Amino acid sequence: MKKQLIMAGALVVLAGWAMGCKSTYDAKRISAGNVQREGHIVFVRPHRNYPLQSLRRRLEITHEAASQNAAGLLVVQVGCRNKGGIDLPLSVKTAFYNQPFGAPGNQTSVPIYETPIRTFNILRGMTEEYTVTCPKKGAVDYQVTISEIVH
């Protein structure tokens, strides 16, 4: 019985380690100057050899707004329009910061909250509104990461 528990525990640890090692994009350290040039909306490739320009040509950001609601929480709204061609399956994740993102002296800031990845499909010619609220008070800036889902 004890050996079975040890084996089960080892399998759980191994499975957790294997799942944690997979990423949809190459997370490399970038210089402080590059962080300052990053905008509030960032497009990333689903994998290394995927053409990033194709997503930028097919997806238009119609509007981007951030405001505080009555509870003092930061609310971000981003409009995404599919320019046509094919349906766009997207994944979106937002990181909230308690200091302006990329400001001098804040190049390595850790987000105070990150949303889970949300997936949605934008049909040809349609516009989707992505709205997210940071559940933690004190958020003053954000960064939205958008990637196309590859099947």
Provide the pLDDT for residue 88: 86
Cβ neighbors of 82 (< 8 A, separation 6 or more) are 58, 59, 88, 122, 123, 124, 125, 126, 127
What is the rounded CA–CA span in Å between residue 128 and residue 123?
9
For 34-44, write each residue's pLDDT tens digit: 555 667 888 77
pTM greater than the 0.85 cutoff = no
Provide the pLDDT for residue 26: 47
Q: Which residues of the chain carry a pLDDT beneath 70?
A: 1-38, 46-54, 101-108, 151
For 128-143, write each residue's pLDDT tens digit: 999 999 999 999 999 9
Q: Which residue has the tokens 């960032």?
A: 42
User: Which three-class secondary structure string do you get for 32-74?
Assistant: HHHHHHCCCEEEECCCCCCCHHHHHHHEEEEEEEEEECCCCCE
Write down the H helix ranges in the chain.
Answer: 2-20, 32-37, 52-58
Task: Residue count of the chain, please give it.
Answer: 151
